[in-house]
Amino acid sequence: MPVHCQVPEVAAVRPETAPYFPPRPRLARVGAAILACVALTLAACGKKSEPVPEVRPVRLQQLSQHTGKTIFEFSGDIRPRVESRLGFRVGGKIAARLVDVGAVVRKGQPLARLDPTDLSLAEAGSRAQYEAARTDRDLAASDLKRYNELFAKGFISAAEQHRRQATFDAAESRLRQASAGLRSQANQTAYAVLLADADGVVTAVDAEVGQVITPGQPVIRVAQTAEKEVAIGLPEDQVDLLRGTTEVTVRTWADPGRALPARVREIAAAADPVTRTYATRVSVPNPPADLKLGMTAVVTFVRTGAAAAVRVPLTALLQEQGRDQVWVYDQAAGTVRPVQVTLGDPVGNEIEVRQGLAPGQTIVTAGVHLLKPGQKVRPMQTVAPASAPASAPAAARAPRQG
């Protein structure tokens, strides 16, 4: 059954009749301390922290004094100086091809043959004409001999003797004409066999058996092996610099330890429209037998300057208000400072510095656009001493220092 509880009534307490409790001093002090801590925390959050100076990583290089000797290297390939596109002097149908690509041929060796039927018939006709002309000449010579004897005895007049002499001269001329025609036709028949005009290697075949060709049409390409050279391309900023260089050597990729003396044979008068380089041929006198066509080669030019110089990479330069400057590294302080320089001639990926720098100084070669005077930097590599020259790049069109 439900349980009923009776709550006693509480009389309302009026403010004027409520009892008075005085504040406790300890609680007041605790509240004041809490408010002071909050105020200090807010004040501390409002202050800005001082920025930590940024230390940038940089790439460094120690300068060394060059003796004026510069080495330029360019990649190329071995090519023949003379590559002949051989063809028949007469037209006709190719009956046989006697060599393949890569075959080594000797001077006078047959390379291909034409069908000689028509040429043989033409030669036979010329020979018949020659025989007829010779018969007429012999008959005229016999008549002239007999009439000369009659003229000597006074039996015929001088006019008749002159007539017989003219007949003989005409027959003699026709015989010479027929003889020349026979020799020409014999040559035409001989031209049905294509011969190598020099020792060499077959590099290409442009016509096959059964093809009808015209006189002079290229059939077989033969590269002469007596003279070989290296084909390279010179950039436009180094053509005049290397034109008069006499110390030139050639090394092959197969045998890099062997240096072959060479000389610049020709430099193109105009740049190639695609590569924008000047085609250059470097001749190798008396090439060895193992110097094969198509091999990869490196041509080295050694140029000696007039005076010593200091060179820096192009990446180390920075233009500030129209002036060239370089960042110099202070190893003791670990900072950098800008130094204005006077530039000279460019040499590949480097440029000559005439004033402003000295051998032994360390410069920044990467990240120059992000530096400020007196900024702390961190080297990205160990700086080589000035006595150790930097290694030369092996890529073409990039010079290295001697």
Reported as a single tens digit per residue, the pLDDT across 286-297 is 888 889 888 999
Cα separation, 84 vs 75, in Å, equals 25
Burial of residue 337 (CB within 10 Å: 0-12, 13-18, 19+) is middle
First vs last Cα of the chain: how many Å apart? 117
The amino acid at 288: P
Bigger pLDDT: 127 or 41? 127
**Confidence at residue 64, expressed as pLDDT on a 0 to 100 scale:** 78
**Confidence at residue 342, expressed as pLDDT on a 0 to 100 scale:** 86
CA atoms within 13 A on the CB side of 211: 15
Bigger pLDDT: 37 or 358? 358
Give all domains of the chain, ordered by start, each with its CATH number. 57-68+307-401 (2.40.420.20), 72-80+225-304 (2.40.30.170), 85-114+192-223 (2.40.50.100), 117-190 (1.10.287.470)
**Confidence at residue 168, expressed as pLDDT on a 0 to 100 scale:** 94
Task: Give residue-wise pLDDT tens across range 229-280.
Answer: 999 999 988 888 788 888 899 999 999 889 999 999 999 999 999 999 999 9
Task: Give residue-wise pLDDT tens across range 313-328.
Answer: 888 888 888 888 999 9
Beta strands in 183-294 (DSSP E): 193-195, 200-205, 212-213, 218-224, 228-235, 248-252, 260-267, 277-284
Cα separation, 186 vs 157, in Å, equals 44
Q: Enumerate residues 6+ apart whose C-beta is below 8 A from 231.
A: 76, 77, 79, 279, 280, 281
281 phi and psi angles, rounded to 5 deg: -115, 125
* CA 122 to chain centroid: 52
DSSP symbol at 319: E
Low-confidence winner among 85-99, 119-133, 312-326 (lowest mean pLDDT): 312-326
Q: State how far the alpha carbon of 147 is from the alpha carbons of 15, 66, 134, 139, in Å.
A: 186, 98, 20, 12
Per-residue confidence band for 360, with pLDDT thresholds at 50, 70 and 90: confident
Pairing relationship of beta strands 56-62 and 377-379 according to DSSP bridges: parallel
Average pLDDT, the chain: 82
Cα separation, 82 vs 265, in Å, equals 13
DSSP symbol at 51: P
Q: How many CB atoms lie within 10 A of CB 354?
A: 12
User: Among 210, 209, 184, 62, which Cα is nearest to 125's?
Assistant: 184
Average confidence (pLDDT) over 126-139: 94
Bigger pLDDT: 19 or 91? 91
Task: Give residue-wise pLDDT tens across range 151-161.
Answer: 898 888 999 99
Average confidence (pLDDT) over 9-37: 53
